[in-house]
Structures are given as structure tokens and as C-alpha cells.
Structure 1
Amino acid sequence: MAARVCHRGDASLIWSVSEHLDNILRQLRPLDPIELQILDAQGCVLVEDVTVPTALPPFENSSMDGYAVRTTDTEGATDEHPAVLTVIGDVAAGAGELPTVGPGEAARIMTGAPLPPGAEAVVPVEWTDGGTGAPGPADAMRAASTAPIQVGAEVRVHRPVAPGQYVRARGSDVGAGELALAAGTLLGPPQIALLAAIGRASVRVRPRPRVVVMSTGSELVPPGEELAPGTIHDSNSYMLTAAARAAGAIAYRVGAVVDEAETLRVTIADQLIRADLLVTTGGVSVGAYDVVKEALGDQIDFRTLAMQPGKPQGFGFVGGGEDEGARTPLLALPGNPVSSYVSFELFVRPAIRTLMGIEPVHRPAARAVCVGAVASSPKGKRQFLRGRHDPATSTVTPVGGSGSHLVKALAHANALIVVPEDTTEVADGAEVDVVLLD
């Protein structure tokens, strides 16, 4: 369905979930790219193809501690009839000058060290006597391999090796000129490792969006403080800040704002300097103290959605003065915890990932068999129920009731059960759509 144009203040319109989401996303664009040092780029999305300037590894090197040898010198070697080779030197990782291995010779070599000229393979130290002159346990052989080398000493090799055995070939990981990472790649620890390995100190990426989260309500008290009569602990701002970070954003939590429109306006203005996206929770319904509506009604579209929970929503742009491009998007979510979280998953998370320039923007979905009936669902509204999804059996079990204040049930859910607008009940054993949350 195409996104409609809503005129601010037209309270008679009922928006579908899809219409509201489409309207948000079509007004957002990915953040402008910047150049970042590779550690700072973790969690960001590449906007350039990264090619390999030099083969990786850049030279043949040993994958084992042992001895670099010519393969013909180890042919037929056994425990009873070992090949006896003369040790001509040591090759450590990072070595520059390398000895040349000739017939009947071996160079002791460490893991990662370059293969010396003349050598064709590496004999693991466990296949030798470690230069001790007699067979022994593998740990004794390994200990012997770290002792100071005696040039001219003999090492006995008890097994033959084939050409290239225990040698990492030049370019065996990736060749020069090959594509290392494509534009659009999300940079995690393995990708950071690859960038470092090929010598890239910085890359061009879309930065992680900076999301500022604030709760509204004079009744809210921070966790750790005593509750006075009529007050509750603020959980929404913590939940949404954590959710924004999990979605890939750099998230900042602002302490709960009291129900005063001017205080909220000032707080939002103060936060604009560090926000690519603002998220508020509470104050968007039709009550006498709905402070977000009072403070931002001239800038934000407040909408009624055909969904449960999460019926009241708001979206628009704040700040920036006359410069439309400098204005900051703001999503106003309802205040009940479950309504707030469901709204985040459906609307804020896709907005964050759109700003990041990463696909997919939506959570994965699946079909599952509902274990237990859903007795009633409001006709004309898309309902989102908390559920526990079992991928092994493709089942989902409702968790808790439909109340939008049930935080405990939310904490034990890993999916949202979607009940369509035209469905008023779900039978035990019926197939349903689920949104997977982890």
C-alpha cells in the first residue's frame, strides 16, 4: 500500500502499520560517509570496495614449529630409519636474512617464519628428535625446539613430508588485486582483522547513527532511588537505549523529563547537537498531561495506528531552523513498556538501519505453529503478542497476556506473534507469522 500524506492535526485518519513505517522510511536517507580509523569503524557499513594491495600472506611461511627441509631428504624416513639432517641455522618469525637449505640440511623454523630458499616443506618438531639425538615425547621435542640452536648439530626426522606440506603459500588467503570487502559490508571483528592484515589503517564508512532516547513523565524515578507514592521506576529509557545499541546505533539516554512542555522543548534543543535521531516515549496519547503533543504539536505528526499495542505514534523533524536538511528526525512512542518496545522494533529499528545504509532494515520473519489459543484479538487492528519461538520445532508459545504493561512477559519473549487485522482469534495449532527478535 502506498504511503499516504497526512496533514498535521487530522486526527480522523487511521494509519496502518505499513503506512506509518513507509512514511517514516521514505523521508530518511543514509548518513553521509566519513573516513574512520578501522577500530572506530567497527559496527559501521563500508561505502567503498576494498581491494588487496599485496598478496596475503605476502610470502611463503611455516604453519608449524619444526624444520624446513628438502622433501627428497626425508623420503622413506621411519622411526627405525630416520633421516639424519644437519641443522644450518634458525628462522624466526620476522626474520630478514635467511639461510639456504641444501641437500642433507635443515633449518629450524618457527610458526609464521618465512620459508628459507631451497626448502620445500616443513617437518613438524613432533616428527623429529628435536636435535636431542634420541626419540622422546612430543612435549620434550617441543621444549628442545626452543633451546638455543647449535649450527652443525644433527636432527633426526622420523616421517617423510610432501612438497608444500605445512607451508602457507603466498597469496593462499587472498591474492593481490582481489576484492577483500565489498561496499555495503557491516564491519565486525573479522572484517577489522582483514583490513588490518592487508594494511588498511582507515576506511570510508557510513557512521553509526547517534540516537538520543528520553522518557517523559513526572511519575518516573531512576532505578536505584526510592519510590514515593504514585511514582514508578523509569524502565523505558533504559530498554530503548539498549535496543538502539543492539540495532547498531550509538545511543545516549537522557534522564526522564517532567510533564512540562517548555522543559521538554529545552531538553530536546540541548540534545540536537549529538543526535541523528531522537526517540521519546510517553506523552503521545489524548490525556491532559501528554507533554510531547503539547511541546511538539506544531512540528510532529501525531497519528492513530490500527495496531495493538502501540496505537498512538508520532513522527516528524525538529530543529534546524529554515534549513530542512539540518533537521533531526524524531519518533514519539507511547509510554507503556510493551507498546514502547513493539513500536521500537517496528519503526525505530528500521529507521536506525536506514540511516546506517544497511539491509535488511527489518527483523527476520517466520511461520510457526501457535501452541495455545489466542482467545481474542481486536478486529481491524494488527495485534503483536509476545511469544517464545522454538526454531527446532517451528512453534511459538504466547508469553503473558496482551497487557501493554507486562514487562516480565516481554523479558521472556524472543518473538512477536502477528495477528492480522481481519483475525479475531487464533486456534491452538494454527499457523501464524512471527517476528524474530534474536
Structure 2
Amino acid sequence: MTIDPRLQSGLLPVEQARAQLLESVTPLRQTETLPLEQACGRVLAEPADAQVDLPPCDNSAMDGYALCGEGRQFTLVGKSLAGHPHSGNLQPGQCVRITTGAALPGGADRVVMQENADLDGETVLLQKEARIGEHIRRRGEDVGSGEQIVPAGRRLKVADIALLAAAGVSRVTVLRRLRAALLSVGDELKPLETPAAELGTGDIYDSNRIALKAALGELDIEVVDLGCQPDDPGQIRAAFEKARDSADIVITSGGVSVGEADYTRDVLEELGQLEMWRLAIKPGKPFTFGRLPRTEGVSYFFGLPGNPVSALVTLYQLVLPALEKLRGAGDDVVRFRGRARLLNPIRKSPGRLDFQRGYTYRDGDGLQVVETAGIQGSHILSGFSRANCFIVLPRESGNCDTGDWVTIEPFQKPLT
């Protein structure tokens, strides 16, 4: 097989980088027990078992009449309401008025919905015979008491909470929340409170840290915000030591280089081990991963590119899978990809896996289509803001034409 020489550039494939990250991190083990209503989004550390049968008794799936035996004519002898069951047993030819969810009285073996029955005094006449077992929910047909209903490692969603609550589970043991420390380094970075008129030439707002903080907050990760540090070795070291000792992960964007006035790399190499990668990804070629040993265990370092779009793309494609594994939900995360027809041409050179920002929707004919969202520069945030998906262009691919089918990856948290 002939390999395009443009792909032999010494760049690390994204898939390999992601695999290396996942292999390098170890999930958290510390747990806490919470009331169920506080547990949505948390990762279950111990399996949860049903405390009761679901349903807890045979009950009606419809408003109508609970019948005993066959036939089309029955004598009405009472009623069974949710929370107020009929006390006696039915004999053949008898029935009771019953509401949805109400307990089935003894002797009842079928339910007819009220639209198929006519009441004449104490007599119920069926428009057609009901089948045995019709419209009956059997005790325990969903889950049985003592049955494991949610496994360990599941990130609890609303449907899980509903199931657990119905099954009588009031408290669950979950992994503790992941803690992430964020900091920026650079004399040119200024806080958002700085008036625009006071910005010097080359000064920029410290926007990446704010965006990363919002992203991690969307993922229910506890954030330790250490602000922006000047280009001073002592202050940088103190900030990273505090980050290392207070969080499971440390994230920065930009600043890990060999620049004359850039001390971040030297400090990090003194504190731990660094791996600096050049990735076959666009945007986001430079990426740093490291381990910062501490008294108990290790804190993981992720150095994202400085360009704002690059920082968010690498966070989403590389860091998030590692974070999911760290908090115990690595196998529970599925990222959807689909196909869409391109509405505009795209220029691309072979060499890097390209995550262009796009907007996808179904056209009037129901066809999934996608178009690029504005200029695709790694510093252009306005297009990213309008986008709702990535257009994923393989590393070896070149230009795309209008009408081509391309792969799309709709945004999920934290980019939604």
C-alpha cells in the first residue's frame, strides 16, 4: 500500500493519543452516599437492588372494569381505586369499576377498558368479550424485589432515578465528584473585569479559563479556579503545587513551550513527568499530558493549545474521555456519529484529522444536511458559537464538494 507522504509527518494520530490517555489514568475509588434526589449525573459505585416488586401488585393498565370469568354481561359489585382497593373476591360473572394503577381484586382475571363497556344500573354489558389477562399488569413483571436494577459504573440519568425511586431505593453510593484545577499563565492575560480601554497592546482577556470552567461545570466536575498567574517562576510553581495538591486533574491552555519568557514547562518538569505531543488533529496540534505525584496518588496534567477553538476541540476529543474514565464512567459514554450531505465545499489538505465546526439539520425532504459554520480558523469563536456539530474529515482525505456525504458528530455536553 502506498502511503501519502504528507501523512508521514511525525504527528501522533488522535486515536492513538486518546488510547494512551485512557491507558494512563486510573479511575477514582473514593465514594460517598447521597439521597437519591441528589444523585442524578453521578456515577454509581455499588449496584442498586430493588426493595420491592414492580409493580408491587397485580393492577389495571386501564380505566374500566375488572372482570371475573368469560361472557359479555357482568354484575357490578364495587370499585377499586388507586390506594383504595376492593376488599372482597369476585365470583364468576361479577366485576368492579377500576382505575389505572388500582389493585386487581381477588378473582379478577381480565380488564375491559371503559370505552368497550356500557353500564346499565348494576349491569355492565361488553361490546365484545375480553381476553383473559387483558390490560393487567402483573406483580413484579418489571423488576422483582432484591433484583439488581442499576449496575455499578452507571452514570445515573433521570430514567435511572425514576426506576430507583419506584423500587424503594432512597440512598445510593456514588463515586465522589472529580476535582479539576484550572489556571492560566501569562503577563498578556487580563481578567474580564479589566476595562477594554485599559488593555495594552497585545493584551487579551483570559477567556480560555472561563470557557473551560463552564465546560467542566456542565459535566458536574468540581472546579478549583486558581486564576491567572504572571510569568514568574516562583508564583507559577506555587500555583501548580496548590493545583496538584487540591485536585485530581490540572488543566491549562497555552504556555507549555520553550519560549524565553515561558517558565511553565520547566516548573512542570520539576514537579512531575511531561509528555509533549504533536497531534494529527486540526485544530489543536500541540498537546501536553503529565503526571504530578503528590502525597496520596497523582494529579494528572492536561496542557491544551492556546487558541480558543483548539483548546475546546482537544478538551472535547481527548480530555473528556480521560475524565469519564477517571470518574468511573468510561464504558458508559457513547458519542454519536452520523452522515450528512454537505451544502458547501470544504478545502482540506491530507495530513490531519479535521474537526470543522458545522451546523446540521434536516431539510424539507427530510435529508440530513450540514454546512460549515463560518470561518474555520482556530481563533474564530463566532462560528463555533453558531455550530451544533463537528464535521469530521479523515486524516487522509482532501477537499470535499457540495453534495458529498460527510461524517458529523453532534455536540453533546459540554458543547451543547
Identity of aligned residues (%): 34
Superposition deviation, residue 14 in structure 1:
5.2
Residues 255 and 234 of structure 1, relative CA distance in 2, 3 Å threshold? farther
Where 1:211 maps in the other structure, the secondary structure is: strand
One of 401, 405, 409 as aligned partner of 2:383? 409
One of 303, 316, 331 as aligned partner of 1:359? 331
What amino acid is the match of 2:23? R
Superposition deviation, residue 350 in structure 1:
1.3
Question: Please, what TM-score do these two structures have when normalized by structure 1?
Answer: 0.73
The answer on 1:303 being equivalent to 2:292 is: no
Q: Give the conservation status (yes or no) of the 8 Å contact 1:305–1:312.
A: yes
The answer on 1:76 being equivalent to 2:72 is: yes
The answer on 1:201 being equivalent to 2:170 is: yes
Partner of 2:31: 34
Partner of 1:159: 126
Q: Structure 2 CA distance, aligned partners of 1:63 and 1:239?
A: 49
Q: Structure 2 CA distance, aligned partners of 1:401 and 1:424?
A: 18
The answer on 1:278 being equivalent to 2:256 is: no
Q: Give the conservation status (yes or no) of the 8 Å contact 1:67–1:125.
A: yes
Q: Deviations over 1:344-398 (max 9, x none)?
A: 1221111112222322657444455544333353x64444322234576454422
Q: Structure 2 CA distance, aligned partners of 1:188 and 1:31?
A: 20
Q: Deviations over 1:128-178 (max 9, x none)?
A: 788xxx8xxxxxxxxxxxxxxxxxxx6453436634444322123234565
Where 1:55 maps in the other structure, the secondary structure is: coil
Larger Rg: 1
The answer on 1:343 being equivalent to 2:314 is: yes
The answer on 1:239 being equivalent to 2:236 is: no
Q: Structure 1 CA distance, aligned partners of 2:333 and 2:91?
A: 60
Partner of 1:58: 56
Superposition deviation, residue 329 in structure 1:
0.5
One of 76, 84, 95 as aligned partner of 1:85? 76
Q: Structure 2 CA distance, aligned partners of 1:370 and 1:117?
A: 63
Superposition deviation, residue 27 in structure 1:
0.9
Partner of 2:107: 118
Q: Structure 1 CA distance, aligned partners of 2:133 and 2:392?
A: 57
Q: Give the conservation status (yes or no) of the 8 Å contact 1:337–1:404.
A: yes
Partner of 1:174: 143
Q: Structure 1 CA distance, aligned partners of 2:263 and 2:210?
A: 20
Trace 1:187-226 onto structure 2 (pairs within 5 A): 187-221=156-190, 223=192, 226=195
Q: Structure 1 CA distance, aligned partners of 2:338 and 2:63?
A: 49
- Gap regions ≥5 residues in structure 1: 1-11, 78-82, 135-153
Q: Structure 2 CA distance, aligned partners of 1:65 and 1:275?
A: 55
Q: Give the conservation status (yes or no) of the 8 Å contact 1:279–1:330.
A: yes
Q: Structure 2 CA distance, aligned partners of 1:424 and 1:104?
A: 77
Residues 28 and 86 of structure 1, relative CA distance in 2, 3 Å threshold? closer
Superposition deviation, residue 332 in structure 1:
1.0
Where 2:126 maps in the other structure, the secondary structure is: coil
Q: Deviations over 1:5-39 (max 9, x none)?
A: xxxxxxx9754434433332221122226353334
Question: Please, what TM-score do these two structures have when normalized by structure 2?
Answer: 0.76
Where 1:388 maps in the other structure, the secondary structure is: strand
Q: Give the conservation status (yes or no) of the 8 Å contact 1:34–1:205.
A: yes
Q: Structure 1 CA distance, aligned partners of 2:383 and 2:170?
A: 46
Partner of 2:359: 388
Q: Structure 2 CA distance, aligned partners of 1:190 and 1:164?
A: 28
Superposition deviation, residue 200 in structure 1:
2.8
Residues 373 and 100 of structure 1, relative CA distance in 2, 3 Å threshold? closer
